[in-house]
Amino acid sequence: MSLLEVENLDVRHGLLRAVLDVGFQVERGEVVAFVGANGAGKTTLFRALAGAHRPTGGHVRLRGEDITAVPSYRRVKRGIVLVPEGRHLFPEMTVYENLVLATASGRKGTWNIESALAVFPNLAPRLKQRAGTLSGGEQQAAAIARALITNPDIMLLDEVSLGLSPVAVGRVYESLQRVMHTGTTILLVEQDLNRALSVATRILCMRQGRIVAQGSAQTLSKAEIMEAYFGGQDMAASEVRA
């Protein structure tokens, strides 16, 4: 039995079908990167997996149990947590308060505030600082640390490097590598293809709400990803970018 199974998932934004008939499976310990152009449906898919957006069709199963209708806070208690695009820290609360809130999930495990700070040591001197005053990289670190403290089996990371400087992205990924070594299953949305290929065990490419290509990071060539990313008719553009 797979850790996560997604079957024929449809998600709408009003009349717009943002995710269409998506299906995939994730095994324990995998790092799966979702790539695709803006509007491909990656963020909507992640929000649906986290329970923040109700699907209009299909199923999400965690360890074989159907959790399609389970609200987001209960999914966290069952082991799925989302680090949303834009971080969504509580800006007027301190870093410590942001982190300690995650203990409310009540899920036991190896992660706590101390172990999360060991992975993100740059947060330790900032605990009493208001989260809204952190730099972008520190905010991303705090958001990931907050998610880790819920002791997830699966962590969904949406747009890890969005809006961060290359140095900050490097630091965040350095810490993420340490998280990956603990065996936490990670699904991530990443616009930086090289980053995605460097950390992921598997790549899923989305276009117009569908998964159009998938494979292991070793077997899937950059050209194949680009073709899936932009579609055949836009290959000229994709070749330029590659």
Partner 1 sequence: MSQLLNALIQGALLGGNYALLACGLAFMYQVMRIINLAHGTLIVVAAFAFWFLADRWGINPFVALLGVLPAMAVIGWGLERAVFAPSVRYGLLVPILATFGLAILVNNLLFEQFGANPRSLAPYIGALSYGSWALGGDIYLGQLAVLIFAVAVALLAGLSLFLSKTLTGRAIRATAVDRDTVGLIGVNPRKVNAIAAAIAMVTVGIAGLFLGMRGSFTPYSGMDLLIFAFEAAVIGGTGSLWRTLLGGVLLGVVQSLGALANPQAFLIAGHCLFLAVVVGQALASGRSFGHFAKKVRGWI
* Residue numbers at the binding site for partner 1 (CB under 8 A): 50-52, 71-74, 76-77, 81-82, 84, 88, 90-93, 97, 100-107, 146-147, 150
Nearer to partner 1, 104 or 223 (CB): 104
Beta-strand (E) ranges in the chain?
4-13, 16-26, 31-35, 57-62, 65-66, 80-83, 154-158, 185-189, 202-207, 210-216
Nearer to partner 1, 39 or 84 (CB): 84
Q: How far apart are CB 150 and partner 1 at their closest, in Å?
A: 5
Q: How far apart are CB 207 and partner 1 at their closest, in Å?
A: 26
Nearer to partner 1, 78 or 126 (CB): 78
Q: How many residues does the chain have?
A: 242
Nearer to partner 1, 102 or 226 (CB): 102
Rounded distance, CA 130 to CA 48, Å?
A: 30
Nearer to partner 1, 146 or 195 (CB): 146
Q: How far apart are CB 211 and partner 1 at their closest, in Å?
A: 24
Identity of the amino acid at 4: L
Find residue 214's DSSP bridge partners.
Answer: 204
CA dihedral sign, ordered 96, 97, 102, 103: positive
Q: How far apart are CB 36 and partner 1 at their closest, in Å?
A: 22
Q: How far apart are CB 72 and partner 1 at their closest, in Å?
A: 4
Nearer to partner 1, 99 or 172 (CB): 99
Q: Exposure string (b/e) for 93-129, b if CB count within 10 Å is 16 or more?
A: ebbbebbbebeebebeeebbbeebbebbebbeebbee
Rounded distance, CA 111 to CA 103, Å?
A: 10
Q: How far apart are CB 238 and partner 1 at their closest, in Å?
A: 33
Q: Which helix (H) or strand (E) holds 128?
A: none
Whole-angstrom CA distances from 180 to 27, 43, 86, 191, 231 are 14, 21, 22, 19, 31
